[in-house]
Chain A
């Protein structure tokens, strides 16, 4: 029941864009995105509910296609501070949150 994330790892130069994908085989109520820096706890970025509305957080935005049970995280004009591991978390109606295996993003100067 874990969502599937792709790619597993991305290496970017500052200013480049990236897309991280998350998909599930089950119908979803919501998709969450978190970022985790090495040795720290995951930090919430945004939540997307059923309805396909796109959310934004500075230069990071995301979409949710509930028909395909897919979500994508868009990072534009990446900064060094964007480096970390990104996790999508999915919630179905049974309340618990399941996370993907993560995408390691490295932004180089």
Chain B
């Protein structure tokens, strides 16, 4: 049981390059989300999904795209990387999206991205 798996763990990009951060979970979780973590700002929600084919924007969606074609995968795409996107990115999932079953978030190990 791998839980939430993120790849890559480290990445260095040049300004203007594009890339995809991969996230996969093997727990059949309905809810998946992406956060970025910057010093002193906690975890800020980028995008989230409440099921396959359904995505929505969080607090800081600009410059990022997501899709959810399967229950297991939720990739995050950086369209044209900027230095302001230098951050640690966490993917997280939970069993349900809402209601009394909307339980704990399981986090991946994080992906550290540097944009030069």
Contacts and interface: CB of A to CB of B under 8 A. Distances in A.
B42 A100 contact: yes
Contact of B102 (A30, A40, A43, A44): A30
Contacts of A101: 40-42
Interface residues on B, range: 20 to 34
Interface string B90-116: 101000011010111111111000000
Which of A34, A41, A98: most chain B Cβ within 10 A? A41
B45 interface: yes
Nearest to B104: A44
B42 A87 contact: yes
Given A32-B104, A42-B107, A44-B104, A95 B48 contact: yes
A66 to B, nearest CB: 14
B105 A97 contact: yes
Given A41-B90, A41-B108, A41-B110, A96 B42 contact: no
Given A32-B104, A44-B104, A47-B103, A96 B48 contact: yes
Given A32-B105, A95-B48, A95-B98, A1 B59 contact: yes
B35 A99 contact: yes
A31 to B, nearest CB: 12
Contacts of B50: 95
B21 to A, nearest CB: 14
Contact of B100 (A40, A49, A87): A49
A44 B58 contact: no
B26 interface: no
Contacts of A30: 102
Nearest to A89: B105
Contacts of A100: 42
A64 to B, nearest CB: 14
Interface of A: 1-2, 29-30, 32, 34, 40-44, 47, 49, 87, 89, 91, 93, 95-102
